[in-house]
Structure 1
Amino acid sequence: MKKPCKHSLMNAATPVRLGALIALGLAQSAFAQSMEAPAAAADGTPPAPTGLWDRSTLFGDTGGLRPWLDARGVTFGLQDTSEYLNNLSGGVHRSGAYDGLTEMSVGVDTQKAFGLPGGIFNVSALQIHGTNLTQRNLQALQAVSGVEADAGTRLWELWYQQSFAGGKADIKVGQQSVDQEFMASQYAGAFMNATFGWPVLPSMDMPAGGPAYPLSSLGARLRVTPSNAWTVLAGVFDGSPAGSGSGNVNSSGDAHGTNFNLHDGALFIGEVQYALNAPDISAPDAKSSGLPGTYKLGFWYNTQHFADQQFDNNGVSLANPASTGVAQSHRGDYGLYAVADQMVWRPSAQSPQSLGVFARVMGAPGDRNLVDLAVNAGVTLKAPFKGRDNDVAGLAVGYAKIGSHAQGLASDTAAFTPGYPARSAETVLEATYQFQIAPWWQVQADFQYVFRPGGGVPDPQNTSRRIGDAAVVGIRTVVAF
């Protein structure tokens, strides 16, 4: 499962261990005696709210630790996501599951810290816990949660970014999770299903699901912003974040994310972005009269070898008992994608209420990929009720088409195993509501319905029928400390 996410309080999840909390408490006690509460800034800007229900984080300025560190160029973040999901019908089993994610991150502004302009250093870690409902109960391609992942504690990202050309360009080098910048949709981030974060196509087709939550790869990313409207992203990363082409992190010898591997081919990825009615960065307080939107075109190419989904190395179907069982090998894999985010309505430029729509489509070769076409789209309404300016209601659909050769293999299998179900596509519908209790606390209610889990894979309890359509309800809580 991949999402976070990106990962912000408004869109996703991030968790922390008790040890990190203890370390934070020790640091606070060591510094608190020498610190005073923050006063108004020299330019007259009032201090940040300090009331429990108004401040941006649960712990506020942490006894003065946060502003003390910020003055020295250091910021830290701590966010926890917990959720409970239950499939009321369908799937392989019917039961509920708890899962959670804690993320801690530290950033350093090198201008403040060392006098080096334009530099940012970032390190983040994950603590993933609980049970994966999708794998255990549903066997769906589009995981019902973007938080679900193999349990464990691991390094996530470790990179340095340096801007140049007057701030119009920057380069980032180090261990990176590409879902934080590539293929991202602003409005899709409101939903819990993983496909609305890191889409199902790269998640199923790239080795180990690609360098996206909870994984990352060593690499370099260049970003150029020649104008307010245009941005170009390009990057090259290690081809398999799990190492050795493995799809299983826990069996790859890199369960803690510290392998820093550069031995599994290369993943090239590029994206062009156009911002419609983009704000003028030279006049940040100016209001645009037009409705903002962002449009993206991108591609990725992986240099490794990929197994055919239907034929062996002699051209015989893998379902045939006479097959060698060794899949035909294809050199390289690639995908193309497009993303659109557009606000379509708001009462006025100053109103918190707005209606946004998104659409994302991507394709890949059908011979070497389990999913060769993926589409997701949806609509979100911000501030749906008076006085609930930061709530979000949304409705979305995700579609994953099984690759042509994977469909062919299912048909071939049926020829040798009568009754074996055909595979076609998986579709998920999701309705969600984010309730913002406080700036630091969000609760989300969610309903999903999965049609043809796995695209129509057989039920392990009766291989002559496919897994039944599944209805899933869930609740998520996100707290920023």
Structure 2
Amino acid sequence: MGAPVAGNAADPAVTPAADHRQTLADWGVQFSATYIGETLADVSGGMRRGAIYAGRLDLGTTIDLDRLLGWRGATFHANMFQIHGNGLSRNYVGNLLLVSGIESLPATRLYEAWIEQSLLGGALSIKAGQQSADTEFIDSRYLDMFVNAALGWPGLTGAVLPSGGPSPPLAVPGIRIKAQLGDNLTASVAVFDGDAAPPGPGDPQIRNPNGLLFRVHDPAWLIGQVKYGFGNGNGMPSGLTAGAWYHFGEFDSQRFTAQGVSIVDPAGSGLPARLRGDQGVFAVIEQPLAHSAADPAKGTGFVARVLASPSDRNLVSFYVDAALLFTGFSRSRPDDKFGVAISYARISDAARGLDRDLRRWSGVASPIRDFEAVIELTYLAQITGNFALQPVIEYVMHPAGGATDPFDPAGTRRIRDALVLGIRTTLSY
């Protein structure tokens, strides 16, 4: 008798679920499920000490439309989030560069839903639909394991773009074009709707509670980048990316009214001037520093990102982060990872000027914001093929740029530097 065919009931190693999953894969349909759960605690500093539990379930499907429908070169993808729990930054630390990339208001929401068409033998691809920017622009695989949100979608774009820009948990409709210009050269450009939520007060996640608004009439956000790969990474990211973005909407002045006086001047209107358009430039460098003897595709990698934007209309005008990622350092635990990273966001000159104006007009020696920085150390232990355990330490310097502590009745004390300890678990299927 021959060996059982994969998926055959005669094979005790094949479960019915695995059998059905293989059948769907043969049709070009793949399903995924990832649950991230984390307990984080502010053990010192911040606005107040405390701990939270937060979780995010990500359910997704990717469909090869060629296999399923005969639509050559086309792929469909969609996923949704079920988010629950509290946010440590929102409720305890009070910082800009959120402690966790999954920190969001509790909700069940559609995230992405797009179709990608590959052309010219894969040299050109066009993606259209509701999508995010953080996985293709200003990104690096060296940063994927880190917990702090700013090490995913950079702290500058997250702070200055309407609704934080197209990044978790809010994607927006858009079109992305990507071209392979040479063996080591790739160019990408995308235009997105410029705001995931309608105008109004309060959190944009409340104004777009389920990700179903599909907004297309807001002033657009345009981003483009060129990436040159050094070609010596042996599977580890290695290259230089440079790019720029432009938003066609209007933005509040960080310091002045339309009449040219300070927003906090009692003789003025108190309403910020509206400034047309916003822009920024960025660069990313990725470089392997050493390859693992056990696996040449692993080793020690370095990444740094730099972003800058105008001071007059942005709370953050300069941002930089850097990280070292260590993989393949243990033959007995080949999939474990260790990383250390630092991120720095400079409060713009205009926002700092407003703080000085407030001191002048109020007579209170309130803090003048300057910067926020976060150091993160984390270790990811891959316990099984689909379960990982990840302790993390973050030290937050000058939360909210060194803003006034909301619990200080005198209004003269900064939010204190915070020490955050936590553990993240990731279960995938």
Whether 1:373 and 2:328 are equivalent positions in the alignment is no
| Larger RCO of the pair (alpha carbons < 8 Å, separation 6+) | 1
Residue 180 of structure 1: SS of its match in structure 2?
A: coil
Whether 1:106 and 2:61 are equivalent positions in the alignment is yes
CA contact under 8 A between 1:391 and 1:433: conserved in structure 2?
yes
Whether 1:89 and 2:58 are equivalent positions in the alignment is no
Match of 2:373 in 1: 427
Residue 274 of structure 1: SS of its match in structure 2?
A: strand
How far apart are 1:63 and its partner, in Å? 4.0
Distance 1:172 1:387 in 2: 41
Residue 422 of structure 2: SS of its match in structure 1?
A: strand
Which deviations, in whole Å up to 9, do the C-alpha atoms of 1:24-81 show, x marking residues without a partner? xxxxxxxxxxx97437xxxxxxx9x969xxxxxxxx8724111111111111111100
Residue 141 of structure 1: SS of its match in structure 2?
A: coil
How far apart are 1:245 and its partner, in Å? 7.3
Residue 388 of structure 1: SS of its match in structure 2?
A: coil
Distance 1:268 1:246, change over 3 A: farther
Distance 1:261 1:36 in 2: 49
**Structure 1 spans left out of the alignment, 5+ residues:** 1-34, 40-46, 52-59, 280-287
Match of 2:394 in 1: 448
Q: What is the CA RMSD across the aligned residues, in angstroms? A: 2.1
Match of 1:283 in 2: none
1:263 alignment partner AA: H
Distance 1:154 1:451 in 2: 33
How far apart are 1:381 and its partner, in Å? 0.8
How far apart are 1:320 and its partner, in Å? 1.5
Residue 277 of structure 1: SS of its match in structure 2?
A: coil
Counterpart pick for 1:317 among 249, 262, 265 = 262
Whether 1:276 and 2:230 are equivalent positions in the alignment is yes
Whether 1:119 and 2:74 are equivalent positions in the alignment is yes
Distance 2:202 2:6 in 1: 49
Distance 1:242 1:38 in 2: 46
1:202 alignment partner AA: T
Distance 1:50 1:210, change over 3 A: farther
Which deviations, in whole Å up to 9, do the C-alpha atoms of 1:365-411 show, x marking residues without a partner? 00000000000001111133341111111111000000111011111
How far apart are 1:163 and its partner, in Å? 0.6
Distance 1:221 1:374 in 2: 25
- Any residues of structure 2 matched to 1:134-173 within 5 Å, and which? 134-173=89-128
Distance 2:236 2:157 in 1: 30
Distance 1:385 1:349 in 2: 8
Distance 2:294 2:243 in 1: 31
Distance 1:65 1:246, change over 3 A: farther
How far apart are 1:82 and its partner, in Å? 0.1
Whether 1:474 and 2:422 are equivalent positions in the alignment is yes
Whether 1:401 and 2:346 are equivalent positions in the alignment is yes
Whether 1:38 and 2:13 are equivalent positions in the alignment is no
Distance 1:238 1:63 in 2: 40
CA contact under 8 A between 2:84 and 2:106: conserved in structure 1?
yes
Which deviations, in whole Å up to 9, do the C-alpha atoms of 1:422-466 show, x marking residues without a partner? 110011111110000112111101001011101110011211110
Whether 1:177 and 2:132 are equivalent positions in the alignment is yes
- Any residues of structure 2 matched to 1:49-64 within 5 Å, and which? 62-64=17-19
Residue 134 of structure 2: SS of its match in structure 1?
A: helix
Whether 1:340 and 2:294 are equivalent positions in the alignment is no
TM-score (norm 1): 0.84
CA contact under 8 A between 1:36 and 1:64: conserved in structure 2?
no
Residue 466 of structure 1: SS of its match in structure 2?
A: coil
Q: Which moved more, 1:205-214 or 1:178-187?
A: 178-187
Residue 144 of structure 2: SS of its match in structure 1?
A: helix
CA contact under 8 A between 2:287 and 2:302: conserved in structure 1?
yes
How far apart are 1:221 and its partner, in Å? 0.4
TM-score (norm 2): 0.94
2:75 alignment partner AA: I
Counterpart pick for 1:267 among 213, 221, 242 = 221
How far apart are 1:227 and its partner, in Å? 2.4
Counterpart pick for 1:198 among 147, 153, 158 = 153
Residue 181 of structure 1: SS of its match in structure 2?
A: coil
Q: Which moved more, 1:373-382 or 1:319-328?
A: 319-328
Distance 2:327 2:379 in 1: 10
How far apart are 1:334 and its partner, in Å? 0.7
Whether 1:356 and 2:301 are equivalent positions in the alignment is yes
Distance 1:295 1:320 in 2: 45
Distance 1:384 1:118 in 2: 39
Distance 1:116 1:353, change over 3 A: closer
Distance 1:257 1:246, change over 3 A: farther
Counterpart pick for 2:209 among 239, 249, 255 = 255
Distance 1:223 1:346, change over 3 A: same
Whether 1:305 and 2:250 are equivalent positions in the alignment is yes
CA contact under 8 A between 1:244 and 1:263: conserved in structure 2?
no
Residue 411 of structure 1: SS of its match in structure 2?
A: helix
Distance 2:381 2:47 in 1: 31
2:427 alignment partner AA: V
Residue 212 of structure 1: SS of its match in structure 2?
A: coil
CA contact under 8 A between 2:394 and 2:421: conserved in structure 1?
yes
How far apart are 1:353 and its partner, in Å? 4.6
2:398 alignment partner AA: R
